[in-house]
Chain A
Amino acid sequence: MAAPKKAAAGAAQDNIDGGSPPEFTREQEFKALREMLLIRRFEEKAGQLYGMGAIGGFCHLYIGQEAVVVGMQMALKEGDQVITGYRDHGHMLATGMEANGVMAELTGRRGGYSKGKGGSMHMFSKEKHFYGGHGIVGAQVSLGTGLAFANNYRGNNNVSVTYFGDGAANQGQVYESFNMAELWKLPVIYVIENNRYAMGTSVSRASAQQDFSKRGASFNIPGKQVDGMDVRAVKAAGEEAAAWCRAGKGPFILEMQTYRYRGHSMSDPAKYRTREEVEKVRHDQDPIEQVRNRLLAAKVSESDLKAIDAEVRDIVNASADFAQHDPEPDAAELWTDIYR
């Protein structure tokens, strides 16, 4: 029997407790809208710059998944760490890293977060507690567990939010990490961003257990499936998981059911899914449209929303401008930062 096909990303009926997530205050709605829009416009611009040849190598866009990182970030407190894989621009912006520094890194310029030496997949910010940006699928899961180990060692009550995808969820070191995290009761939230495709391989073609919230079951790690297209559901689940971790109960798994609109990377012809499938998710579940529609229904004026659009576009355009005019790194930078 074929595995039942999941309703498009979302699958809200599977959501945490079945009911609707707690409503946001107007202030929270605006914040979520602004943060998600910033990521979307930034990624659209990055896609453009890639097409123009200004960005090289790999470039994995986060468009469609914005609610996951924005909702999670709203559930955290100062000092909590974030670490993810290579689809990482959204996470950087959500942790408060500057658009200029991220975009300039994409174009390989000296004002980039890694002075142009890391690129799309390798950016970090100690100040914002963002630990990368890792190009090897699954490696960030052990590293993120190590961040939680450090929190435990220091007794600082911070939580490590360790993001990975449905593809990385099949890597062996994920389970080595699960085992240690539960054994040592480490404060780590494993956020599995299930966007339904590991590059071109759908979940049903790669995963024997397609309910990722159960992937910690044999280690006694609790897990929940979350509508990752609804920023409110994400925040609520994030708060529950963070409370669990901070209470010393160990790790928690959140499967975020989400969707990426663009290809795996810029060079993906996307033959593994239909245009209709993508359009349907965009139309029915877009995380940004959900917030916008709620605000409009609450009698917020179009002009207020347009003001946010304009503000975000300005930031993104400025970053693109900076990233194309900032000089390349000095040749001497080739030989720095190998040792300290």
Chain B
Amino acid sequence: MPIQVLMPALSPTMEKGNLAKWLKKEGETIKSGDVIAEIETDKATMEVEATDEGTLGKILIPEGTADVAVNTPIATILADGESAADLAKAPAPAAKAAESAPPAAAKAEAPAPKSSETKAAPAPQAVAEPDPEVPAGTEMVTQTIREALRDAMAEEMRRDADVFVMGEEVAEYQGAYKVTQGLLQEFGAKRVIDTPITEHGFAGVGVGAAMTGLKPIVEFMTFNFAMQAIDQIINSAAKTLYMSGGQMGCSIVFRGPNGAAARVAAQHSQDYSAWYSNIPGLKVVAPFSAADYKGLLKAAIRDPNPVIFLENEVLYGHTGEVPKLDDFIVPIGKARIARAGSHVTLISWSNGMTYALKAADELAKDGIEAEVIDLRTLRPMDTETIINSVKKTGRAVTVEEGWAQSGVGAEIAARIMEHAFDYLDAPVARVSGKDVPMPYAANLEKLALPSAAEVVEAAKAVCYR
């Protein structure tokens, strides 16, 4: 029976890609290991190798097709003795695979998707309601978060010769997640520096350079690896200004993906929001929308203090509207009302916003108007925006991917209690990652993360519905 070649995934978080080029024609003989096609994502181009031998029977997805979902059949290979006539026998390539939700999208969904939802959920669009600081009528460009980050760094490096970026694979490889793509070509090896795999050491080198007034951007391939470097981040970067009586500070950005990606298990899936936001001397930023990623990274690079910039790998490929301004800065420490509502306040940041916004849509169907606050910055926390909203709604639910104990949600709940106790109509509810190391199995991973359904449930509970 003819063999189907499926659209491969290049990374745990890839959901779709473009079929750039076919290197074999229909009817050509194929040996195992032959490169038959090239596929590309916004992150990389990869070759597709044949794993079976035979003849390329039929190309199902022509070259130049964009956004082909992972697992879509892209071609069939005929075994010896088979002919084109046998193609009819191939399992119907009804693009079922294309419609089945890929793992990363599935993760973002409510646990029990309705059976009517046969279409693949499009990657959630990072919402980018214009900030008040963006003048009305500003032209917007659609960008992936990955591109927004790259542009933020490039713009700041053009503006200030003291800004440089260092980390593992940031230069010649163009970034492990392609966030630094093109920077080496524009700025050269002096300012875009590949480091050895040595987080503790290069974090310290970055801090030392910053003490002299340079402004390093230190990329961690993921924040999981920054645990090797956390002494330098906390003891050297965060505390030196205080310990020196204000004499010597440290303008430095530590950035990289934080939290759960997809199917990478416990050691690569931890959310460090609570850890870093515990530390006086650090600022901690964790944006959700493409515009905020750009505007806040630029603000972080200019900030004279050490800034922890927590990104999310699942969001890198998501697109959003970014204001086309020469100098678009989003101030650190200001939350954003991502969606206005009057019945309950949902408070989240980073990828937690995916669940919060989805839940708000669901709640609206039941007549509950949720106000969704995207914190954007965890330290300093915009308590005022939270409290003003809770005074209006009387109910609050926090949403985070990290663990509940000593988590950011716990901190938000405490602040609401301290500043708006008399306005509360129900105890604050927390939706969080489950209190377990992240499991690998797809079903368990889904259970370990929060979901929109859990947010809906919590919101209804605080509304006594």
Known contacts A139-B232, A177-B205, A180-B198; A338 and B280 CB within 8 A of each other: yes
Nearest residue, chain B, Cβ from A141: B204
Which of these, B195, B202, B208, B244, contacts A123 with CB under 8 Å?
B244
A145–B195 CA distance with the chains assembled, in angstroms:
13
Is residue A317 within 8 Å, beta carbon to beta carbon, of the partner chain?
Answer: no
Provide the bound-state CA to CA distance between A96 and B205, in Å.
25
Q: Which of A114, A150, A173 touches B247 (beta carbons < 8 Å)?
A: A114
Task: Kindly provide the distance from the CB of B90 to the nearest chain A CB, expressed in whole angstroms.
Answer: 54
- In the complex, identify which listed stretch (B69-77, B235-243, B361-369) lies at the interface while the others stay far away: B235-243
Contact (Cβ within 8 A) B241 A340: yes
Contact assessment for A142 and B246 in the assembled complex, using a CB-CB cutoff below 8 Å: no
B114 at the interface (CB under 8 A from A): no
Report whether A143 and B211 are in contact in the complex, using a CB–CB cutoff of 8 Å: yes
Stretch in A69-77, A130-138, A300-308 touching the partner: A130-138
CB pair A339 B241 closer than 8 Å: yes
- Nearest CB in chain A: distance from B178 CB, A: 24
Q: Mark B95-109, 1 if CB is under 8 A from A, else 0.
A: 000000000000000
Q: Tell me, yes or no, whether B82 is within 8 Å of chain A by CB.
A: no
Minimum distance in angstroms from B207 CB to a CB of chain A? 6
Contacts of A131 in B (CB 8 A): 208, 211, 248
A337 to B248, CA, bound (A): 10
Q: Which of B201, B209, B243, B249 contacts A150 (CB 8 A)?
A: B209
Contact across chains for A173 and B245 when beta carbons are under 8 A apart: no
Check A45 for interface membership: any CB of B closer than 8 A.
Answer: no
Q: CB distance A115 to B235 under 8 Å?
A: no
The answer to whether B204 and A339 touch across the interface, beta carbons within 8 angstroms, is no
Question: Smallest Cβ distance from B53 to chain A, in angstroms?
Answer: 45
A220 CA to B283 CA, complexed, in Å: 39
Q: Are B240 and A132 in contact (CB under 8 A)?
A: yes
Does A142 contact B195, Cβ atoms closer than 8 Å? no
Contacts of A143 in B (CB 8 A): 204-205, 207-208, 211, 232, 236
- Whether a CB of chain B sits under 8 angstroms from the CB of A146 is yes
User: Are the CB atoms of B236 and A134 closer together than 8 Å?
Assistant: yes
Total B residues in contact with A, Cβ cutoff 8 Å: 39
Kindly identify which residue among B190, B241, B245 contacts A153, using a CB–CB cutoff of 8 Å.
B190
A117 contact set on B, CB distance < 8 A: 242-243, 245
- B451 interface residue per 8 A CB criterion: no
Are A145 and B204 touching (Cβ within 8 A)?
A: yes
- A142-B203, A146-B204 known; A115+B211 contact, CB < 8 A: no
Are B243's CB and A118's CB within 8 A?
Answer: yes
Assess the B205–A149 pair: CB atoms within 8 A: yes
Complex formed: what's the CA distance from A153 to B247 in Å? 22
Which residues of B sit under 8 angstroms from A123, Cβ to Cβ? 244
Instruction: Report chain A residues within 8 Å CB of B206.
Output: 146
Nearest B residue (CB) for A143: B208
Q: By the criterion CB–CB under 8 Å, are B205 and A146 in contact?
A: yes
Indicate with 1 or 0, residue by residue over A23-66, a CB within 8 angstroms of chain B CB atoms.
Answer: 00000000000000000000000000000000000000000000
The residue that A183 contacts in the complex, of B196, B236, B249, with Cβ under 8 A, is B196
Chain A residues, CB < 8 A from B196:
176, 179-180, 183
Residues of B near A142 (CB, < 8 A) are 200-205, 207-208, 232
Q: Is the CB of B242 within 8 A of A337?
A: yes
Render B167-199 as a binary contact track against A, CB cut-off 8 A, 1 for contact: 000000000000000000000001000011010
Task: Evaluate contact between B244 and A132: CB separation under 8 angstroms.
Answer: yes
User: Measured between C-beta atoms, what is the minimum distance from B187 to chain A in Å?
Assistant: 12
A145 contacts B241, C-beta separation under 8 Å: no
Instruction: From known contacts A139-B232, A147-B211, A338-B280, infer whether A180 and B241 are also in contact, taking CB-CB under 8 Å.
Output: no
List which A300-339 residues lie within 8 A (CB) of chain B.
336-339
- Quote the shortest CB–CB distance from A118 to chain B (angstroms): 4
The residue from B231, B280, B304 contacting A139, defined by CB atoms under 8 A apart? B231
B214–A150 touching, CB < 8 Å: yes
A339 to B209 CA separation, bound complex (whole angstroms) = 18
Q: Which residues of B contact A146 (CB under 8 A)?
A: 204-212
> What string of 1s and 0s marks CB contacts (under 8 Å) between A169-188 and chain B?
00011001101100100000
Query: Is A179's CB under 8 angstroms from B198's CB?
Result: yes
A126 and B244 CA atoms in complex are apart in Å by 10
Q: Which residues on the A side are within 8 Å of B208 (C-beta)?
A: 83, 131, 142-150, 160
CB atoms of A337 and B212 under 8 A apart: no
A74 to B245, CA, bound (A): 28
How far apart are the CA atoms of A150 and B244 in the complex, in Å?
Answer: 20
Please tell me if the beta carbons of A114 and B204 are within 8 angstroms of each other in the complex: no
Q: Which residues of B contact A160 (CB under 8 A)?
A: 208
Most chain A CB within 10 A, of B164, B202, B208, B213, is at B208
Contacts A149-B205, A180-B198 hold; do A124 and B244 have CB atoms under 8 A apart?
Answer: yes
Residues of B within 8 A of A173 (CB): 200-201, 204
A residues 147-169 touching B (CB-CB < 8 Å): 147-150, 153, 160
Interface centre among B214, B242, B305 (most CB of A within 10 A): B242
Q: Is there an interface contact between B204 and A122, defined as CB atoms closer than 8 Å?
A: no
A183, B189: Cα distance in complex, Å: 13
Docked Cα-Cα span, A142 to B280, in Å, equals 22
Is A90 engaged at the interface, CB distance under 8 Å to the other chain?
Answer: no
Judge whether B450 is part of the interface by a CB distance below 8 angstroms: no
- Chain B min CB distance to A127 (Å): 9
Determine which of B201, B203, B244 lies in contact with A114 in the assembled complex, contact meaning CB atoms within 8 Å: B244
Tell me if B433 counts as interface (CB < 8 A to partner A).
no
CA distance A338 to B247 in the complex (A): 11
Contact pick for A124, options B213, B232, B240, CB 8 Å: B240
Q: In the bound complex, do residue A136 and residue B231 qualify as a contact, i.e. CB atoms below 8 Å apart?
A: yes
**Is A228 part of the contact surface with B, judged by Cβ < 8 Å?**
no
Give the nearest-CB partner of B244 in chain A: A124
List B residues 204-230 near A (Cβ within 8 Å).
204-214
Chain A residues in 8 Å Cβ range of B195:
180
* Residue contact B235 to A136, C-beta cutoff 8 Å: yes
A339 touches B243 (CB 8 A): no
| Complex Cα–Cα for A213 and B83 (A) | 73
- In the complex, what residues of A have CB within 8 A of residue B248's CB? 124, 126, 131-132
Q: Which residues of A contact B205 (CB under 8 A)?
A: 142-143, 145-146, 149, 177, 180
**Are B203 and A340 interface neighbours, CB within 8 A?**
no
For residue A116, which residues in chain B have a CB less than 8 angstroms away from its CB?
Answer: 245
Tell whether B281 is near chain A: CB-to-CB under 8 Å: yes
Least Cβ–Cβ distance between A184 and chain B, in angstroms: 8
Q: Are A179 and B201 within 8 A (Cβ)?
A: yes
A216 within 8 A of B: no
A contact residues around B247 at 8 Å (CB) = 113-114, 124-126
- Minimum CB–CB distance from A128 to chain B (whole Å) comes to 11
In the complex, the answer to whether B304 meets A340 with C-beta atoms within 8 Å is yes
Contacts of A83 in B (CB 8 A): 208
Given contacts A132-B248, A180-B196, A339-B305, 17 further A-B contacts (CB under 8 A): A115-B245, A118-B245, A122-B244, A124-B247, A131-B248, A139-B204, A141-B204, A142-B207, A142-B208, A143-B211, A143-B236, A145-B201, A146-B212, A150-B209, A172-B200, A340-B241, A340-B304
Counting from the closest, the 7 A-B pairs by CB-CB distance are A146-B208, A142-B204, A176-B201, A115-B245, A143-B208, A337-B246, A114-B245
Sample of 6 A–B contacts (CB below 8 Å): A113-B245, A142-B205, A145-B205, A176-B200, A337-B241, A339-B281
Instruction: List chain B positions with a Cβ less than 8 A from chain A.
Output: 164, 190, 195-196, 198, 200-214, 231-232, 235-236, 240-249, 280-281, 283, 304-305
